[in-house]
Amino acid sequence: MMADSMLPIYARALLKTLPVGPRTSPDLPDRSIDRSVPLEPVAYAGFAHVVGQTLDDIVHPGYLHILGFPLSMQLLADPEVPLPMMGMVHIHNRVDMLGPARLGEVVDFHLELAGPFEHTKGTTVEIRVEARVEGRPVMNEVSTYLAKGRKLPGAEAKAQTPHAEFAAPRPSALWRLDPIIGQRYARVSGDYNPIHHNGLAAKGFGFPRQIAHGMYSASRALSAMDPRLETYRWDVSFAKPILLPATVGYALTEGRRHEAARSAVFDLRTGKPHVLSQVAHLGE
């Protein structure tokens, strides 16, 4: 399925890391992708179980992200994008859930690139996704990717969310993450980025070991927060990557399960955050 479409994209992206001539413009190409994807129960079940979600008819927002993800990568791998896709870091993800998407329905995705934006650590681009079911909006998503150390003339100024002070709470849950989790999540998400299941590849991108998929941790945290709201905003900030294997802590830092709340996935030893999540009512 999605798994099939991702490998050539990574191959193309790898090629793009080679220094092949100057690119013509610092601007992003004005491209968008529209694609319809059916919500298929067997494929979804694999995803749901890996991220700790009870299987029911309403799909996890993380799965909608995953369905849009190969399309996002197609946009980013475009030769006219003046930033290298490989090595880009997913630093933030915001999903507005506007209504339920159910198994058996067909989701119409519309994806656009936005940016480039200035960032203290480089340049960011955004993938903006609109998902509809029979014309009914179900999700808007903004995924922010950072090209570290790259500065582009003409990048738009953009306010950055300030880094909040983080004090690690007592973990209410421990997640024991085997290296297998990188492979399992790759199998169900189609995101076969080698930094998640190959230590050597991870080293190539500056990580001492393979790292967990950020959206795996984020989706699992959302499963634990288990919002029972009709509509909500799901905001995720990715801090330090989780080097596998690891046992990390999870805890709510504000609010209660099923409601608007904040949670953290963090390093048990250093207390540093890996993934900070917030579920909020829309319009707040």
Partner 1 sequence: MSTPQQRAVILGGNRIPFARSNKQYAKATNLDMLTSAIDGLVARFGLAGENIGEVAGGAVLKHSKDFNLTREAVLGSALAPTTPAFDLGQACATGLEAVVSLNNKINAGQIESGIASGVDSASDAPIVINDSMREILLELTRAKTVVARAKIAAQIRPAYLAPQAPSTGEPRTGLSMGEHQAITTAEWNISRQAQDELALASHRNLAAAWDSGFFDDLTTAYLGVSRDTNLRADSTMESLAKLSPVFGRKLETEATMTAGNSTPLTDGASSVLLGSEDWAAEHGYTPLARLVDAEAAAVDFVDGAEGLLMAPAYAVPRLLARNGLTFADFDVFEIHEAFASTVLSHMAAWESEEFCREKAGLDHALGTIDRDKLNPLGSSLAAGHPFAATGGRIIATTAKHLKTTGKKRSLVSICAAGGQGLTAIVEAA
Range in contact with partner 1 (rule: CB under 8 A) among 15-23, 45-53, 102-110, 211-219: 45-53
Q: Is 272 in the site for partner 1 (CB under 8 A)?
A: no
Q: Is 51 in the site for partner 1 (CB under 8 A)?
A: no
* Residue 176 Cβ vs partner 1, minimum distance, rounded to whole Å: 6
Kindly write out the interface string for residues 136-175 of this chain, putting x where it contacts partner 1 by CB under 8 A and - elsewhere. Answer: ----------------------------------xxxxxx
Helical packing angle, 61-76 and 41-50, nearest 10°: 100
Q: Which two tokens stand for residue 155?
A: 């990048």
Q: Is 256 in the site for partner 1 (CB under 8 A)?
A: yes
* Residue 170 Cβ vs partner 1, minimum distance, rounded to whole Å: 7
User: In this complex, which beta carbon is closest to partner 1, that of residue 40 or of residue 178?
Assistant: 178
Q: Which residues inside 173-212 make contact with partner 1, applying CB under 8 A? A: 173-176, 178-180, 183-184, 187
Residue among 12, 240, 257, 262 that touches partner 1 (CB under 8 A)? 257
User: In this complex, which beta carbon is closest to partner 1, that of residue 58 or of residue 174?
Assistant: 174
Q: Which residues inside 223-242 make contact with partner 1, applying CB under 8 A? A: 224
Alpha-carbon distance of 264 to 273, in angstroms, equals 7
Contact (Cβ atoms closer than 8 angstroms) between residue 31 and residue 74: no
Which residues are CB-contacts of 19 (< 8 A; sequence separation ≥ 6)?
none
- 213: helix, strand or coil: coil
β-pairing, 122-133 with 136-148? antiparallel
Region for 73 from its dihedrals, namely left if φ exceeds 0, alpha if ψ lies in -120 to 50, beta otherwise: alpha
Which residues are CB-contacts of 176 (< 8 A; sequence separation ≥ 6)?
245, 247
Range in contact with partner 1 (rule: CB under 8 A) among 4-12, 43-51, 81-89, 94-102: 43-51
Q: How many residues bind partner 1 (CB under 8 A)?
A: 22
DSSP characters over 13-59? HHHHTS--S--S-SSPP--EEEEEEE--HHHHHHHHHHTT----SBP
Contact residues toward partner 1 (CB under 8 A) are 46, 49-50, 170-176, 178-180, 183-184, 187, 224, 251-252, 256-257, 268
